[in-house]
A and B are shown apart, each in its own frame.
Chain A
Amino acid sequence: MSASRGPLLFQDIDTPGLRSLEVYRGQGGYQTIGTVVGAKTPDECIEIVKASGLRGRGGAGFPTGLKWSFVPKGSPKPKYLVCNADESEPGTFKDRELMEKNPHLLIEGMILSAYAIQAHVGYLYLRGEFEYLQRILGQAIGEAQVAGLLGDDIAGSGFRLELHTHLGAGAYICGEETALLSSLEGYRGQPRLKPPFPAVEGLYACPTIVNNVETLMNVPHILRHGAQWFRQWGTEKSPGTKILSVSGPVQRPGNHEVPMGLPLSALLEGPCGGMREGFRVKAVIPGGSSVPLLPASRLDTGLDFESMAAAGTLLGSGGVIVIDDQTCIVDALYNITRFYEHESCGKCTPCREGTYWMSEVFERLESGHGRERDIDLLFDVSDNILGKSFCALGDAAAMPVMGAIQHFREEFEYHVKHKRCLVNRRRAELEARFGETAAV
């Protein structure tokens, strides 16, 4: 047994051979198939998950049990469970490790969740780059099928479920649940109108629950140990643990599981082992690239949905991107803006045109041709996207820029005035890109 890396999902994550059904079962895996499926009613399952306070780990933090309860009872239509394994938010890489190392926990979570909403077909939507995970999961699904854990009569309970993996092909937007469903149905991966919400009219216009990998992996633990047990971690409103994907110049980047509510500074000092030699924190993007950054002065903020919101940002998907003191904020935000320009699906005007425009303005700042009015322009363009785009991608592009201007306006002004960055350790790269006028 290897050392435990976290209290819950990561407790045994590095166990050798965990990917195999045998080892997974040896650790108590799939016990719930006997104790829950067929033994408890679907409604009881939903109530337990509701009581646990489990909230979606994909970014929005919506209460999972409540979401499940929106599936209309007695609808004659088939119901679907879809696992969102698109993991596309920059800075986030937890689901990849979870699925790579512990695929059966996800399968168990999907069986239980499907049972709770009475879905008989589940799809696992993997981003295209995760082709190797499709094989790992496919193998695990095969094993589970042979063992009677999937199929027509799961462990004699009478409940049936088939699971399929589905590989995306390169589109950030497919992490948005309705875009994911469009993609799964064979359309261009563009978001759809809500309402109707997927729980009522989702995949093939049937009731559908879309849950993130980490969310689903919490479900077996909750149904096995109970809601109160789960609440031993975290805060009242954000119970449980959270896997945070930490990137940037820290000593130990990677996935770290901590109880919700742990101060950000504790994460960085503890599991991450502090900053690398010669670097200091300037700011942290706590929840993936689409949330506003926190300046170093706010590192005391707790890693839970409420504390982050109070600090003007979001816990999001838990992609903690640490920006060091030698990185130019303008440069970092240019990178993020370019990302959203590249990933905008093009459906709505504000996001499609706005991200392009913002990129162009950033490029002007970066290339040393910035004008004073560009800073306010960037802010106003972002403001005109915020809340006006079709889906949250527009907000995701707007919020970080607005936050950066609010917290680090002086770096933008310095750019305009001095035609160069206040700091930049990447000077050489930018000079190569923009030539001598580069504002670096």
Chain B
Amino acid sequence: MSRPCRVNVNGRIVEVPSGTLLTDAAREAEVHVPIFCSHGKLPPLGACRICVVEVGMPKLGPDRQPVLGAGGQPEIAWMPKVQTACTTTVSDGMHVLTESPAAVKARKGVMEFLLVNHPLDCPVCDEGGECQLQDLAFAFGHDFSRMDEAKRTFDSEDLGPVVKKEANRCIVCMRCVRYCDEVMGDDALTAHQRGVWTEISSFNRQPLECEQCGNCIEVCPVGALTALPYRFKARPWDLRQHVTVCPYCSNGCSVRLGVRGAEVLRARGTEFRGINREYLCVRGRFGYEFINSPERLSTPLLKLGGTLEPAGFDEAVTFAASRLGEIAAVHGPASIAFLGGEKVTVEEAYLFQKLARAVLGTNHVDSRTRWPAAVPGRAVLKATGGGRPALTFEELVHAQEVLILGDDLQGEGPFAQAQVIRGQHQHGLHLTVAHPRRVKLAGVKFQGLWLDYRPGAELPLLQALTRAALDLPRPSGLPAEVLEGLPALEQALAPWTPSRVEQATGLSMASIADAARRLREAERKAVLFGRALTEHPEALALLHAVENLAWLCGALSAERSAVMYVGPQNDTQGALDMGLLPDCLPGYVAVEDAQGRRAFEQQWGGPLPSVPGKTAPEILEAAAAGEIKALWIVSDNWLRSAPDRRLAEQALGEAELVIVNELFLTETARAAHVVFPASSFAEKEGVMVNCERRLQKNVRALSPRKGSRPDWEIFQSVAQALGARWSYRTVEDVFREIARLAPNYRGMHWASLLPSGAQWASADRPVVPGSLGGADGAGATRDEVAARAGGGAATDGAPSPSAPAGLVLLSGGVLFLQGSLSQRGSLLPRLARAARASLHPEEAKRLRVAAGEPLEIEGSAGHIRLPVAIDPGVPEGSVFVPYAHADVDLNRLGAPGRAGLRVTARRATELERIGAG
């Protein structure tokens, strides 16, 4: 395929791989060929015809040799018609002319045709100034119009709350329709009618039933589709535009913020940059309102008496430092714990743990505040293959088999979902979705395998998959440690007979074996997991199982294959990398590892604690028990993120000192003694690491909100007040120190990270190679895991639908909301609508509730009330409640057990405000 072809474009010769499109070859030759319908993520269409060029090939004589003309140059046989460069692939020796009289006339002709019915309303068009039609008309068109007949006209319409349509401006390039279909998998847009009356719209002109991502607006080359929220707000030349990293999920899309004054007026994709290019999900595109929110904290707050009062920054720093110092002196460093940090930059995460370890001397540091189980810090790293190069989104599109374990990518990683959909549509990707609910990707149209396991049966499912994988031929390239562990694993999984698998998971062994076989047999494959496994009481066993399955199916040894952890926040990965873990220093250097520790001690100027600290759930317990006296919580609304609301409330009540860095006065901030107003992502620099483990640079798009500071400045001020000799002038100073110390970031250069840098990988250290059973010293022993793998299964009481004991509470992300930031504007909450409890129609019948009626859900620790929604995609024996809505505190219900969170549900007599525990 990649045989090089020499192509002559306007006399300039470029060498490109065969199969290259002429549009790309021309770009290579620095010749501008205009396009409209062509789009990098869509197959060639050849519809708009603006890219017409003249194409010729050397004339061949009877001997199949090129005929040479005068001057010894090969004679060119020009094709009789102009050709569309966007659909023509190069051949060796091809000649292309973009400026010949025929090419120019054809292009001008098409340009003129495009303007036949296009209104000349540029002065009132939101696209004006960044309209491709405007630009190309300027570059290639006539300076007068020969078309003075009446134009064909359509009425304008609003296609729902985000898309404004002016069909008269449409040039029928079909990008929006095709993008919606092939990339988003939504099929919400379609072309109506035909010919000159072709009009893009929805079913019967109703509001679009889709993800409301607005990518149709983004790919529209003209002003036919524009964003309602941005309508008539600004002209593009009035905006300062900055490409930075989206603050929402762990996919880490580049987002282009349009800023005027101190206000962000819009967010757009980047077209030619970033991992996502033009793509943004609804949160990324319309979730910027929180930056401008008047509710942002604008001054530090101190609780000296019973209430939080505004204070000066220095005053707050002095207070925080002196109280931390006192508590450390009185109760010892182990009475201090630091939590959170999944949403701050890498540099901030680094300084946060440095402050804990080097200045205060505590290893009680953990960013994994949602995790209900104590899990070694390197468990995720191991499950993803250690320092092995991580999966890229480009590889995900081209994977032949993708296995998604328990997560709904629509909520947890919309860009990953879009890549999978595009792969399915364009590259023959096959999808296996293990999820109890019929989530979007489990839909029929994606033609995948849906493993709708019984709610709570995550572990039996993974063990059954591993059991099935053991029967398949071993992939080559398995490390010795893995091979050594196999007999023990075989033994441990032996009890998983088909009937037991079926009993525990509700799935046939045949379908599970089919999934394992597909993963094993695919050449390029990907396994994705996220919160469904990590926020599970059996998280450690599940992570081991993922690792086992991945090794056995070759997902960790095959080329262009990997396991991806789709974490909950935009810098979840960076927080792990930077040692916001109780047992790891930055770069996963174990705190007990004296040699590894030494480098840090030398740089940081003092001895570091060598005993692993407590994990987040252990900190929760210890704080609630009064053993932890001081908590510093960064960018984490802990009262909502902690697995048990009651314990978290108790912990915050017990603690002598609670410091919170936040943008808003959250429930957690209200319970603090010191609140530092933090700057938003748009107001600071720093590196973020996405789920590809790619380092990307956040860019300062506007000045920090008055009164707020970037978190790193807050940490430095407190450290200095505690006597540390920190003197970072810029974020870059911090990054340079990280790149010197953290083994996995070694060699990374600050300057190369904009907007998207490299993925980190480390062939040598610090990662333990995969070991089946996970006996890495920090995790469970092989025996323990084996015991879990086999033994617990029979009693792993996966509930049966008819069990009278109640329902399993299923939760998950929703597309329109993520975390507190998304709820600070008006658009996203409006799109998300109120939270509801979804039930299978049969379950609703059993509970005698109808849609809209109030449902009381009772857990071991509390209850919530929500209106009912009926959804046949929710399995019987369960109730689905999204965890994103600010007014639904699922952690009030109690902590989940091994087979999930068991609740009872009944129809409530009246619908009260939700939330009272």
Where the two chains meet, the residues of A that have a C-beta atom closer than 8 Å to any C-beta of B are 171, 188, 193, 341-350, 352-357, 360-361, 363-364, 377, 383-385, 387-390
- Report how far A432 CA is from B344 CA in the complex, Å: 76
Is the beta-carbon distance between A388 and B195 smaller than 8 angstroms?
Answer: no
Is the beta-carbon distance between A343 and B48 smaller than 8 angstroms?
Answer: no
- 9 nearest interchain CB pairs? A384-B109, A346-B198, A360-B149, A353-B113, A344-B195, A387-B81, A356-B196, A353-B116, A346-B195
Contacts of A389 in B (CB 8 A): 49
**Listed A/B pairs (21) with beta-carbon separation below 8 Å:** A193-B44, A193-B87, A341-B196, A346-B172, A346-B196, A346-B198, A347-B47, A349-B47, A349-B49, A349-B172, A352-B113, A352-B195, A355-B195, A357-B116, A360-B149, A384-B106, A385-B109, A388-B82, A389-B49, A390-B47, A390-B49
Contacts of A388 in B (CB 8 A): 49, 52, 81-82, 106, 109-110
Contacts of B152 in A (CB 8 A): 356
- Report how far A354 CA is from B196 CA in the complex, Å: 9
Residue of A nearest to B194 (CB): A346
- Report how far A389 CA is from B195 CA in the complex, Å: 13
Taking A193-B44, A193-B87, A349-B48 as known contacts, 13 extra A-B pairs with beta carbons closer than 8 A to each other, sorted by chain A number, are A345-B195, A346-B194, A348-B48, A349-B110, A349-B171, A353-B113, A353-B116, A353-B117, A354-B116, A356-B117, A356-B196, A357-B116, A364-B149
Q: Which one of A344, A349, A355, A363 lies within 8 Å of B114 (CB-CB)?
A: A349
| Contact digits for B69-107, partner A, Cβ 8 Å, 1 yes 0 no | 000000000001110000100000000000000000110
**CB-CB under 8 A for A350 and B172, given A344-B195, A344-B196, A361-B149:** no
Is the beta-carbon distance between B46 and A343 smaller than 8 angstroms?
Answer: no
Contacts of B193 in A (CB 8 A): 346
Residue of B45, B113, B114, B197 with highest tally of chain A CB at under 10 A: B113
| Contact digits for B16-48, partner A, Cβ 8 Å, 1 yes 0 no | 000000000000000000000000000011111
How many B residues touch A, CB cutoff 8 Å? 35
Contacts of B146 in A (CB 8 A): 377
Quote the shortest CB–CB distance from B529 to chain A (angstroms).
34
Is the beta-carbon distance between B197 and A346 smaller than 8 angstroms?
Answer: yes
Is the beta-carbon distance between A346 and B116 smaller than 8 angstroms?
Answer: no
Within 8 A of A (CB), among B101-130: 105-106, 109-110, 112-114, 116-117
- Report how far A189 CA is from B598 CA in the complex, Å: 71
Main secondary structure of the interface of B (DSSP, over half): loop
- Report how far A157 CA is from B791 CA in the complex, Å: 62
Quote the shortest CB–CB distance from A210 to chain B (angstroms).
20
Contacts of A352 in B (CB 8 A): 113, 172, 195-196, 198
Question: Quick check: is B191 within 8 A (CB to CB) of the other chain?
Answer: yes
- Report how far A188 CA is from B114 CA in the complex, Å: 22
Contacts of A188 in B (CB 8 A): 191, 194
Quote the shortest CB–CB distance from A169 to chain B (angstroms).
12
**CB-CB under 8 A for A171 and B49, given A357-B147, A387-B81:** no
Contacts of A364 in B (CB 8 A): 149
Is the beta-carbon distance between B194 and A384 smaller than 8 angstroms?
Answer: no
Quote the shortest CB–CB distance from B96 to chain A (angstroms).
17
Quote the shortest CB–CB distance from A152 to chain B (angstroms).
29
Contacts of B198 in A (CB 8 A): 346, 352
- Report how far A348 CA is from B52 CA in the complex, Å: 12
Residue of A348, A354, A361 with highest tally of chain B CB at under 10 A: A348
Quote the shortest CB–CB distance from B817 to chain A (angstroms).
36
Contacts of B48 in A (CB 8 A): 348-349
Within 8 A of A (CB), among B169-226: 171-172, 191, 193-198
Is the beta-carbon distance between B195 and A357 smaller than 8 angstroms?
Answer: no
- Report how far A342 CA is from B193 CA in the complex, Å: 11
Contacts of B87 in A (CB 8 A): 193
Question: Quick check: is B545 within 8 A (CB to CB) of the other chain?
Answer: no
Residue of A356, A363, A383, A385 with highest tally of chain B CB at under 10 A: A356
Residue of B46, B47, B196, B197 with highest tally of chain A CB at under 10 A: B196
Residue of A nearest to B193 (CB): A346
Quote the shortest CB–CB distance from A188 to chain B (angstroms).
7
Is the beta-carbon distance between B195 and A350 smaller than 8 angstroms?
Answer: no
Question: Quick check: is B50 within 8 A (CB to CB) of the other chain?
Answer: yes
Contacts of B195 in A (CB 8 A): 341-346, 352, 355-356
